[in-house]
């Protein structure tokens, strides 16, 4: 049962075993329609109940997974592109959280989240600030299952804000929103 009756999810299993998830409006003017990227970006930032619903959607997937969205551009968002993601099972597991490589960025306090460039400088990372239990920060599935709701909400709001900024900067260039997930 979804935590927010306005939204539902349609899950299908792809030939490689990955789960494809589409989000559906269950109420309102768009009842029965898939959520669009522009709606998801706005809702992640402005609607705590939606952030909770989305976190719950991810917490019900594989025990550990990679989370991937199809590439998107500012133009596609403006044209009403529909949102979807896939979760790909990680059967071999992830390394334990080890934030030393990014300690200058992760000295922040829970329930905050931060953005910073990856070590190669070719991607922007969004990370929750580690709390007292570092074990729940190794990958997205653990974070969605065990972090406090306030931190999950802050994380999704910052993901959305960062994505908006990145799309505006990149224009017609494709942008990928995903987790690498092997642990920070």
User: Rounded to an integer, what distance in angstroms lies between the CA atom of residue 115 and that of residue 119?
Assistant: 13
Amino acid 184: pLDDT: 46
User: Rounded to an integer, what distance in angstroms lies between the CA atom of residue 163 and that of residue 87?
Assistant: 19
Which positions of the chain have pLDDT values less than 70? 1-3, 97-99, 101, 110, 181-184
Phi, psi of 120 (to 5 degrees): -80, -10
* Contact between residue 63 and residue 146 where contact means Cβ atoms under 8 Å apart: no
* Contact between residue 6 and residue 30 where contact means Cβ atoms under 8 Å apart: no
* Contact between residue 50 and residue 4 where contact means Cβ atoms under 8 Å apart: yes
Please write the tens of the pLDDT for every residue from 96-119.
766 676 788 888 876 789 999 887
Amino acid 12: pLDDT: 96
Please write the tens of the pLDDT for every residue from 23-33.
999 999 999 99
Beta bridge partners of 13: 19
Residue 4 CB: number of other CB atoms within 10 A? 18
């Amino acid at each position: 049962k979804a935590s927010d009756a306005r939204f539902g999810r349609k899950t299908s299993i792809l030939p490689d075993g990955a789960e494809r998830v589409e989000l559906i409006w269950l109420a309102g003017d768009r009842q029965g329609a898939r959520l669009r990227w522009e709606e998801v970006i706005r809702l992640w930032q402005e609607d705590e109940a939606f952030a909770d619903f989305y976190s719950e959607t991810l917490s019900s997937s594989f025990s550990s997974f990679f989370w991937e969205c199809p590439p998107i551009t500012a133009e596609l968002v403006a044209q009403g592109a529909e949102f979807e993601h896939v979760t790909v099972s990680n059967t071999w597991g992830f390394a334990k959280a080890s934030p030393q490589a990014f300690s200058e960025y992760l000295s922040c306090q829970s329930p905050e989240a931060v953005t910073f460039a990856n070590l190669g400088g070719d991607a922007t990372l969004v990370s929750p600030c580690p709390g007292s239990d570092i074990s729940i920060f190794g990958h997205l599935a653990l974070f969605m299952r065990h972090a406090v709701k306030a931190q999950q909400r802050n994380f999704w709001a910052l993901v959305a804000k960062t994505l908006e900024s990145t799309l505006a900067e990149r224009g017609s260039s494709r942008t990928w929103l995903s987790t690498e997930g092997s642990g920070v």
